[in-house]
Structures are given as C-alpha cells and as structure tokens.
Amino acid sequence: MDLIRKFIRRMSGDSSTPAEVAAAIEPTAPVSKQEPATPTNAPIDFDPLAPAFVSDPYPILARLRTEDPVHRNSSALWALTRHADIVAALGDPRFGNAPSPYAVVNARNRHRYVCADVANNIIPFLDPPEHDTPRRLIGRAFAKKMRHQPPDLKAIAEEFLAPLRARAEFDVLHDFGTPFAIAGIGRTLGVPPEEEALLKEWSHWFFYLFMMIPSQEVRQQLDEALTAFRDYFKGRLAIVRETPDESLLTGLAESGLSDAEIVDTCMLLFADGVENVDRAIASGTSVMLRQPGLWQHLAANPDAIPAAVDECLRFESPAMFVGRVAREDIELRGRTIPKNAGVLLLLGSANRDPEVFPEADTFIPDRTPNRHLAFGQGKHSCIGGPLVRLEMTIAFEALTQSFPQLRLSDESLEWTPRIGHRWIAKCPVRNG
C-alpha cells in the first residue's frame, strides 16, 4: 500500500523520490491479465496499483459494492463503489474539488509554484461559485466550435489509416489511436500539425497535477514543463487575437475569460483530449473484436456504432475513478467520512453496478438505456465528452470500413498500472 500512501500525500505535500514516482506513474512494464486474482475470502483492502486489481478490477469492485460500499482502506483513503452513491456524491457540494489545504497545489502556493497557479486556474480544481462562470464560458465556446466548425475527423482518421492499409499487422493504440487523438484535439484548438508532438510531451507532465507532487526535484521539472506549455499557448493566443480563425482557441479568446484562464484551459483540454481518448479507442477495439461477429456487423451497419461507443465507455472506461476531498464530516451508509479525507468515486465500479446495468459484466453493444459515468456527471462532468464520443464514433467507422476483417493478433490483455485510469497498453491487430 506504499504507493497509495504516496498518492494521498498529494494532499499533504509530503515527498518521495523521483524513482518511486516513476514506478507509481509510469511503470516500466504493463500488467498482464494472467496475474492471480485476489482470493474471494481475503479481507478487502482497496489498492488501485495491486497487480490483481490492475489486471482485472471488476471482481474486487463487485465485492466492495456488496460487502463494503463505503470503504476505508489501510491508508485512510475512502472509496465509494455503488452507482447511486457516486451519482449523489458528484452532485453533493460536501465532496469538494479544491485541493486540501496541505497540498502543494493548494491556492496558498499559487504565487510560489507554477503548478499551484495552473491548478487554481482550471475548472477541475474549482468549487462553486468560482467554478460556475469559467465552466459556462468554456462550455459555450466548445459548443459553438463543435456546432459551426468541428474538426474534420474523417480526414484525420484517413491521414493515419492510409499507411496502415499496406501492413499485415499494426497496433491500434500506437499506430492509430494516439496520433489520431493528438491531431483531433490539436486541430480543434488550432495547433499546427507540425507542433502537435511537442505538446504531447508537455501534456504528460500536466497530469502530475492530478496525481501527486512527490519531490522538490519533480515539482521543479513540472513547473518548467508547465511554463513551456503556457508559453506556447500564450504565443498561439497572441496570434489569434491578431488574426482570428475558426479554432476553439479563438472562441476562448472571445469568451470573456482572462488570458491566464484561456492559456491554462488550453493546456487542460489538450492533455485531457489525448491521454484518455487514444486508450478508449484501443480498448474499445479490443473489446469489440472479442465479440463474435460484432466487428463485421458494425462494418455493415455503421449506424450501430454510436451505441457501441457508449457501451465501450461503460464496459472499459479509461477513467477508473475521480478524487474528491470531504469538506465536512459526511455520514453515508452508517459510516462517517471525516472532514479533509480523500475520497475516490469509483466510476469504473458504478459502470458495472448490476442495480443499474442488467448483465453488467456482459458487453451489450446496443444497450439501452446506458447511463454510464465515464465522463462523470453534473457540473464537473467532462466538458469534452461530446468531442470524445464523436472521435470514437468516427475512429470506429473508419477502422471497420478500412479493415472489415480485422482480428486480434495477440489475445492477451495488458494494462498500464496508473492511479485513476484503466489504460490498455497495446492493441495489436492483423488485417484479414
């Protein structure tokens, strides 16, 4: 449980070594699905980086929903697993988004550290009422962009699929999903294609804001990366103020947000628009290719793809959980979550709750209704959710039309150990 304690230290500002962080955030090896499962009679102690959980979290989550739905693990971290409780918590102001008073990224440090300043400019860390106006302005700009000038995702998909048609084998994640996702959000924001790869490296650093700041050395490297990321979007913002275009960045420039809010929001949108989308495409492909005849059915019936996309998001959501901080003592199911405690809302568990989803552990491509929580819900739901759905739909349309006989070339599953995420490590396929 040591890695869980490091995760919780994000709230207290304690440090661990950069080597420990590398192990926690970017492990050197993915975990195979062949890892042994937790014995069914063993006491439950939730550990999101335990090999058995990374390999297959759903048996453990099922036990938690049944036996201990308001769970406190040995590191004093709380976890909610039932759909009803998580939906209620997502709309409950007692579960706060602002960092703990002890966190490195708390507002008290925004004049000392770039990372703290960025965190307090972006909507995931803001509670109402500070959250409401920027959320509304960003949402309005995003909706206008998608309504009037959406990115040409079909052309982007063709750009990256064309060279793959001559290959007998390729990897859906690395050869298609990642470059497609980078280009999708990059061109939405007006990033020139030749500059997209540079932003991908900075976006990797951006996610330390949501994990932990483990040492002064890493915090300094993070601040340097965020400064470079900011400088890039400051330059792009100056360009569109001089010469407006059809990009989302121009829409944000005209939204009424401050320049600082615009720049940091662009960083958030770019990072979030890559890190989960590519994995959702790859894991969705892997899941659907395991359903006999489904891929061919979707190739012949593309109108069925949007429903299948939602089922992919439910069945293997790239977001396993989101974190909250108890703003006061909270009574729930006979337990008291104390003020300032860290609370995980396990979206991946809610999406497999049989109280809401009949045959929850079965992939049903035309499932209706499908009230999954892959994008959260309410005021803090993923603002780019409609774009993600569109990207996935177009990606699967392009893949099924280009490769109607696609099949997996490796049936084994590997998952990247990553706190808060369910990220497939690869998706190797064979054409025909």
Domain definitions of the chain by residue range = 2-431
- Tell me the average pLDDT across 57-83: 96
308-350 residue pLDDT tens = 999 999 999 999 999 999 999 999 999 999 999 989 999 999 9
- Between 266 and 40, the higher pLDDT residue: 266
Specify the pTM. Answer: 0.88
Cα–Cα distance for residue pair 367/358, rounded to 1 Å: 9
User: Smallest Cα–Cα separation from 428: which of 174, 214, 194, 221?
Assistant: 174
CATH number of 2-431: 1.10.630.10
110-161 residue pLDDT tens = 999 999 999 999 999 999 999 999 999 999 999 999 998 899 999 999 999 9
- Judge residue 408's burial from the number of C-beta atoms within 10 Å of its C-beta, 0-12 exposed, 13-18 middle, 19 or more buried: middle
CA dist list (Å): 307 to 141, 224, 302: 27, 42, 10
Sheet-wide strand order for 423-424:
31-32, 414-416, 423-424
337-389 residue pLDDT tens = 999 998 999 999 999 999 999 999 999 999 999 999 999 998 889 999 999 99
- Tell me the average pLDDT across 178-194: 95
